[in-house]
């Protein structure tokens, strides 16, 4: 290993530990630039000397300086405006109805302030009283936020009316109105570290943490989401960036879908089907399944994921003191594997029979339920499939597979709009999942939306080559990869013909 490689590994580890940020190979040059810049600015002759001193220096101060170089501060007013409509029309009224006299909102990773100020504008327009805090790890961004002077580029999605009402020209730029500026309390803080100012239980009604966790390492993502969940009131809302999901990170939230966007609501403990502690365990097969299906080529197959999850549960419980529950899950895992093999041999009836033969408790398992629902759809029994699928979603409504099967059930019930919603949820929760896009394309084509359908067919076509083989078996409606890809192409052509 070259010296520079070793230096970058050390620096990357420091950045991950202190800021939670992850830099893969594609961003190595950015990491190297920051390393050399920090070494120079701090007065060291070279990167090696700087790194040698790093362990004995005040890591908090150094992390602040590095945050200025390595964080991505892209943001603008009214970014993903659908989410602000959902805030005004769903989240704020829901929290007010739940008895919050002033709704407490946190913008976590607020960058230069455009996001919390937009929230403040939205709340003023809705006449909703707020307590609004915002935090970011980058001190320069917090200073810009406090200054509240913005370039036209920051206002590129701001309507003329909003500009006129809440901004005053300041040379080439725009100064935010004082009544909005005063509403937001800014702090410099690090999401990757515990901080009693922000993370006390039930501190917030609503948290915006958009386009932040996507830059974190998976362990940090989980820890940060757990922190956000603990600091929200039950029934509180969490808004992530439009390409970020909680799938595989937490089961403490319901998925909400409105205004053409997705967001989350913390489950209300008392009314949940099972206690929170049982819902959020790394060992759940659903989690292993979710993670495995998100992995790329060379990743374990779905079947392997099921097997390893079952084995992990067994080993965690201790072979000799295996609990009844662990035994049940292990044998259900083995049975699911066998059933998937039957599906592979197109023995759908036998597969369904084998599933029905599982003990009652095993049927309640989310993976088994999902498999059963998929097989019932294949067997032409969408009503029963919907009943099973609804139970799976009640326990885990971040299951992309269950949303996809539910979409098929809704379509069979003549509810095209409901079907499309579930397909969109499945595609959002698992951006690598081809089938909901293909199904949504077919629904849109039927509804006469040729352009929308083409977008979905092309999306499915691009994903199909890497789609997990066992997921294709279970959800592909009896078609193989090649056949599904040809279907996408033929449907695209047909829609193009219709558009012309
Ligand atoms: C892309 S911006 C997102 C801004 C805004 N939330 C939005 O979506 O428009 C990401 C922000 O997250 C901040 N950030 C990154 N790591 C952080 C950490 N460990 N703690 C707090 N903020 C962090 C960055 O400094 C940056 O300002």
Give residue 162 CA to ligand 1 midpoint distance, Å.
Answer: 25
Nearest to 419 by CA among 427, 490, 262: 427
How far apart CA 258 and CA 174 sit, in angstroms, is: 32
Give residue 136 CA to ligand 1 midpoint distance, Å.
Answer: 6
pLDDT digits (tens, 9 = 90+) for 343-398: 777 777 888 888 777 665 445 678 888 988 998 998 889 999 999 999 999 988 89
pLDDT digits (tens, 9 = 90+) for 419-436: 999 999 999 999 999 999
Question: Which residue ranges make up each domain of the chain?
Answer: 3-70, 81-277, 285-499
Q: Minimum mean pLDDT among 101-105, 394-398, 457-461: which range?
A: 394-398
* Geometric angle at alpha carbon 50, from 49 and 54, rounded to 5°: 120
By the 8 A CB rule, do 251 and 280 touch? Answer: yes
CATH architecture of 285-499: Alpha Horseshoe (1.25)
Write down the pLDDT at residue 308.
46
Among 16-20, 208-212, 266-270, 303-307, the range with the most confident prediction by mean pLDDT is: 208-212
Write down the pLDDT at residue 201.
95
pTM of the prediction? 0.83
Write down the pLDDT at residue 295.
30
How far apart CA 493 and CA 500 sit, in angstroms, is: 11
The residue ranking higher by pLDDT, 289 or 193, is 193
Give, using CA atoms, the residue closest to atom 2 of ligand 1. 73
The residue ranking higher by pLDDT, 157 or 281, is 157
CATH architecture of 81-277: 3-Layer(aba) Sandwich (3.40)
Would you place residue 90 in the very low, low, confident or very high pLDDT band (cuts 50, 70, 90)?
Answer: very high
Write down the pLDDT at residue 346.
74
Write down the pLDDT at residue 469.
85
Q: How far is CA 373 from CA 70, 316, 356, 383, in A?
A: 46, 29, 11, 10
Ligand 1 atom closest to 20 (CA): 19
* Mean pLDDT of the chain, nearest integer: 86
By the 8 A CB rule, do 460 and 434 touch? Answer: yes
By the 8 A CB rule, do 161 and 152 touch? Answer: no
Dihedral of alpha carbons 348, 351, 356, 357, sign:
positive
* Among 65, 111, 114, residue to substitute to test ligand 1 (most atoms within 8 Å of Cβ): 111
Give residue 483 CA to ligand 1 midpoint distance, Å.
Answer: 43
Write down the pLDDT at residue 297.
33
Give, using CA atoms, the residue closest to atom 17 of ligand 1. 137
With a Cβ cut-off of 6 Å, ligand 1 is lined by 19-21, 71-75, 79, 109-111, 115, 136-138, 141, 190-192, 210-212, 215, 241
Give residue 52 CA to ligand 1 midpoint distance, Å.
Answer: 28
Would you place residue 342 in the very low, low, confident or very high pLDDT band (cuts 50, 70, 90)?
Answer: confident
Write down the pLDDT at residue 301.
42
Q: Minimum mean pLDDT among 91-100, 214-223, 348-357: which range?
A: 348-357
Q: Are strands 204-209 and 253-258 parallel, antiparallel or unpaired?
A: unpaired
Give residue 186 CA to ligand 1 midpoint distance, Å.
Answer: 13
Give residue 109 CA to ligand 1 midpoint distance, Å.
Answer: 3
Give residue 265 CA to ligand 1 midpoint distance, Å.
Answer: 21
């Amino acid at each position: 290993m070259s010296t520079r490689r070793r230096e970058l590994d050390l620096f990357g580890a420091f950045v991950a530990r202190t800021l939670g940020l992850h830099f893969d190979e594609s961003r190595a040059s950015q990491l190297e630039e920051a390393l050399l810049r920090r070494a120079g600015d701090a007065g060291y002759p070279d990167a090696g000397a700087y790194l040698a001193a790093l362990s004995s220096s005040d890591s908090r101060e150094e992390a602040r300086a590095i945050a200025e170089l390595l964080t991505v501060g892209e943001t603008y007013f009214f970014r993903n405006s659908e989410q602000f409509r959902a805030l005004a029309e769903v989240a704020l009224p829901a929290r007010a109805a739940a008895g919050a006299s002033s709704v407490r909102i946190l913008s976590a990773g607020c960058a230069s302030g455009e996001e919390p100020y937009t929230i403040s504008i939205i709340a003023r327009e809705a006449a909703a009283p707020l307590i609004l805090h915002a935090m970011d790890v980058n001190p320069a961004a917090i200073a810009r936020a406090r200054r509240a002077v913005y370039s036209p580029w920051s206002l590129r999605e701001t309507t003329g009316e909003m500009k006129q009402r809440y901004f005053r020209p300041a040379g080439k730029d725009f100064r935010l109105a004082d009544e909005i500026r005063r509403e937001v309390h800014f702090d410099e803080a690090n999401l990757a570290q515990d901080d009693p100012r922000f993370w006390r239980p039930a501190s917030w009604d609503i948290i915006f943490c958009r386009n932040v966790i996507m830059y974190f390492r998976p362990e940090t993502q989980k820890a940060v989401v757990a922190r956000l969940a603990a600091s929200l009131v039950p029934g509180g809302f969490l808004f992530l960036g439009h390409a970020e999901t909680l799938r595989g990170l937490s089961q403490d939230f319901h998925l909400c879908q409105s205004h053409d966007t997705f967001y989350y609501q913390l489950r209300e403990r008392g009314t949940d089907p099972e206690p929170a502690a049982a819902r959020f365990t790394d060992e759940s097969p659903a989690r292993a399944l979710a993670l495995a299906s998100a992995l790329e080529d060379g990743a374990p197959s779905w079947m392997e994921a099921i097997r390893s999850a079952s084995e992990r549960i067994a080993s965690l419980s201790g072979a000799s003191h295996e609990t009844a529950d662990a035994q049940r899950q292990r044998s259900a895992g083995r049975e699911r594997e066998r059933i998937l093999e039957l599906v592979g041999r197109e023995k759908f009836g036998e597969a369904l029979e084998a599933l029905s033969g599982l003990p009652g408790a095993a049927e309640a398992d989310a993976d088994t339920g999902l498999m059963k629902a998929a097989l019932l759809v294949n067997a032409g029994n969408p009503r029963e499939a919907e009943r099973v699928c609804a139970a799976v979603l009640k326990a885990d409504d971040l299951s992309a597979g269950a949303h996809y099967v539910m979409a098929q059930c809704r379509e069979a019930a003549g509810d095209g709009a409901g079907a499309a919603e579930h397909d969109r949820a499945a595609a959002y929760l698992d951006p690598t999942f081809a089938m909901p896009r293909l199904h949504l394309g077919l629904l849109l084509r039927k509804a006469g939306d040729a352009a929308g359908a083409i977008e979905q067919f092309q999306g499915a076509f691009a994903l199909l080559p890497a789609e997990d083989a066992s997921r294709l078996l279970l959800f592909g409606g009896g078609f193989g990869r090649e056949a599904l890809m040809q279907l996408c192409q033929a449907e695209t052509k047909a829609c193009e013909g219709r558009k012309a």
